[in-house]
Chain A
Amino acid sequence: MKPFAKNPLRFTFYVSRFTSHVLRFTFHVFLLLLIFATANTALAQQPTPSDDEVNIIAKQLYCPVCENTPLDVCPTQACVQWRKLIRQMLAEGKSADTINQYFVEQYGARVLAEPPRTGLNWLIYLLPPLAFLAGAYILYRAFRSWRALDKQPAGAEEAETPAAEDEYVTRLEEELKKRQ
């Protein structure tokens, strides 16, 4: 009456069969879900990307025809075509980087808003800060040499109030003090 009492192994066998069923089932469900999920995202990419999504990429590109006008606002026919191309590539699931890269390969680095950070182009990023630092250093040295030249003690009281250069106001304020 106790079907499994004689053979406990048999019990374990059933249990393991059961668990393996469960596991297999879960696995299948998981697989199905996975397929479903990927199918779902694939479906989500089917409708054409919105104008805003296109513009995010177009904003950073410059067409070689109408120089200095970003692609997202350029009204010429050529740029309309370019935006269509971006939309198509987005619909194909291509990333922003891939699209940028495509345009660079097709039309050269000039389509980017800034020169790519390679080779000679580093000059544009390095020269202005270096020149500025050099200027600041020269100014600092000049200040130091001027201060060294200045033999007068530093505690000049002439600069008591910031308005000292306006003699009129200073005089007025002195008058006020006398009256009080």
Chain B
Amino acid sequence: MIADFGFGVLVVTFILSFFSIGAALYGALTKSYPWAESARRAMLLTFPLLTLSSLALLYLLVGGHYEIQYVYSVTSNSMPLYLRITALWGGQAGSLLFWAWLLSAFTSAVTLRKWERDREFLPWVILVSSVTLAFFLSLVIFFENPFMSWWQTVSGEVAAMFRPAGAVLLTPRDGRGLNPLLRHPGMIVHPPLLYLGFVAYIIPFAFAIAALITGRTDDRWIRITRRWTLWAWLFLSLGLVLGARWAYDVLGWGGYWGWDPVEIASLMPWLTGTAFLHSVIIQEKRGMLKQWNMLLIILTYDLVLFGTFLTRSGVLSSVHSFAQSAIGPMFFAFIGLTFVSSVSLLIYRWNDFKAEVEMKSMLSREALFTLNNLIFIGVLIVCFWGVIFPLISELVTNQKVTVGPPFYERATAPLFGALMLLMGVAPLSAWGHSTIKTLGRALWKPALLAALVMAVILAAGMRNAVALIGFGLVALVLIVTLYEFWRAARARSKTSAENFFLALWKLTGRNRRRYGGHIIHISMVLMAIGILGIEVFQTETQGTLPQGSSLELAGYTVKFDSVAQFDTAGGRNVTRAVVSVFKGDRYLGDLYPRRDYYYESSQPMTIPGLYSTLADDMYIILVDWQPISASGATFKVYHNPLVNWLWIGTFIFVFGILVAAWPEKDS
């Protein structure tokens, strides 16, 4: 009953989105405002409708209606309430519905704004969002329907929306349950944030297409979507970092990022999105790179679709591809169609979007920003090619290959280093014109200080070249950025009666975007400290210990005290070891590395024990144990220096975005 209702609402929304497409198109072509308004209202209606449909699915999930195939496949009696709710996006069908719901929410929000100045954009923005929405709804209705029920027929069990002839409804007592990997509080935030980021990028894309079609060549579309882009970027970045933290906490391989194709799938729109964030500033300030910005947002949109496609189509086998289905070709076709038509449109308008000013100097701020874009695209190429190549290899030579971390690390490390160098140099260069002389005059002091930091590190005994260069660059960025704050605040506090800190506060308030950006740069280099620490200095050892004996690593001692095995809530059998950690002779505390075995799916999960400080993490994994005698257990111990700065950087990052995106008083 509820399932029929949810599905019925979906179908109505689907029809409505087609009406919206038609009305918007007709309204735009005939310049008839009532038709555009009608399209807008239809679009606005999709949000409450999809909310109803999602609520229907939530009701089924929470109530344990296992006669529904989707509910059966992602929930079980043993799952707590919060996991049943998160199961909405825990499987293929539900997550596509969730995607559509988010899209309708964002589109509604954007159509509710005041449109007086940009009336010609409205129908086209609605058109682009409606087409995207209709595509996702078609997937949910025709391919991945979350409301299908189990039926018992003469030929066996089938899942279908409507009762097949002579079939009886089948109600299993229990469901299969969510994939153990996903049974974690991270499930509450990581997927929704990533999806929020993905979907929010649809909005600037819709405006870009509207600008292309209407031929409005000013930067109005960028100014309207500036805050959207920032929020989209925040969500996507947070989604990525939270995913990394989640992996660190439960996947039990001592790291946070494995260059898994699905991780890369969500990194790729982030790369183009970050390049876009920088290059739109050039268009706003100098009227340049208009075509390039269009191309970047088109790429971001299609990489968002591509990311969803990779995670949802099962084209790649990776730890994330718990969802496999036949929607691959549909996605492939839609991505191809939107990319080709958007790029054709851009080529058609190419000459209208020429730059107003030409670039004068290779060292000007805009030139360095362009260089930054080139490097981001370089990282993108490495990522894209690394993900695609195994498929090509399989197609052409029928040979399966793995493109793993060594490839990506070797290829991207110098590019990330170059980005950091730019982060240090670009804030010192001027718009329009910089010469080696002017830039050198601004740069030599911070560069000297950074070199000094490198010398100190070298004298302290560090001989690793990557780390040395890395920390030198970190120092450069920190010095330049903090100097920018200090210089401006000092100038302000000297003229106004404000003290230094008040001046700093007011200054940041006056130019939020710029100083927010500086804060974000600081957060990025803090993250770089963490990444350098774990990538360059991670050490590990593994050993089988009799009870009471210990293992040593990096000045720490890990003593094996006991191990116990017991059944616990959630259908798990837990094997939990108790180890005590010492630094030198000092006792630091007990840790409980464990192995959870899920009966339902017969899958093991490795949960590490973690002792974390600002300087380093001790990360202990229970690898093996002797079940009966409990006399010995095998532990793998990682020493991860500085990794905490990655998470600290994230908090500062969020703060920086809030500073940059906080609404201005006048708007």
Contact = CB atoms under 8 A, between A and B. Distances in A.
A162 B438 contact: yes
A127 interface: yes
Interface size class of B (residues with CB under 8 A): 35 or more
Interface string B251-273: 01110001011000000000000
A55 to B, nearest CB: 6
A143 B402 contact: no
A76 B317 contact: no
A122 to B, nearest CB: 11
Given A73-B621, A132-B378, A160-B438, A115 B261 contact: no
Interface in B394-417: 396-397, 399-407, 411
A180 B428 CA distance: 26
Contact of B399 (A62, A108, A159, A168): A108
A12 B371 CA distance: 86
A67 B402 contact: yes
A114 interface: yes
B119 interface: no
Contacts of A161: 430, 442
B613 interface: no
A111 interface: yes
Of A73, A110, A136, A161, chain B has the most CB atoms within 10 Å of the CB of A73
B517 interface: no
B253 A109 contact: no
Contacts of A168: 510-511
Contacts of A127: 381, 385
Interface string A150-175: 10101010111111111011001101
A113 B405 contact: yes
A68 B318 contact: yes
B494 interface: yes
Contacts of A159: 364, 430-435, 438
A172 B510 CA distance: 14
Interface string A50-87: 11100100000010101111101101100010000000
Nearest to B254: A73
Contacts of B439: 162
Nearest to B285: A165
A114 B402 contact: yes
A165 B359 contact: no
A9 interface: no
B352 interface: no
A45 interface: no
Given A172-B494, A172-B495, A176-B495, A156 B427 contact: no
Contact of B403 (A114, A150, A158, A169): A114
B502 to A, nearest CB: 15
A66 B251 CA distance: 13
Contacts of A69: 253, 258, 319
B463 interface: no
Nearest to B319: A68
Contacts of A52: 540-543
B377 interface: yes
Contact of B396 (A120, A135, A142): A120
Contacts of B604: 75-76
Nearest to A129: B411
Contacts of B365: 165
B488 A73 contact: no
A11 to B, nearest CB: 63
Contacts of A166: 488, 511, 514
Given A135-B374, A146-B360, A150-B360, A120 B434 contact: no
27 contacts: A51-B544, A67-B402, A80-B624, A109-B402, A113-B404, A113-B406, A114-B407, A115-B402, A120-B397, A121-B393, A123-B392, A143-B367, A146-B359, A147-B359, A149-B358, A150-B358, A154-B435, A158-B433, A159-B435, A160-B438, A162-B428, A165-B285, A168-B510, A168-B511, A175-B495, A176-B491, A176-B495
Interface of A: 50-52, 55, 62, 64, 66-70, 72-73, 75-76, 80, 108-115, 119-121, 123-124, 127-129, 131-132, 135-136, 139, 142-143, 146-147, 149-150, 152, 154, 156, 158-166, 168-169, 172-173, 175-176
Given A50-B543, A112-B402, A129-B411, 12 more contacts: A51-B636, A52-B542, A55-B540, A73-B252, A111-B402, A113-B404, A113-B405, A113-B407, A115-B389, A147-B361, A156-B433, A165-B365
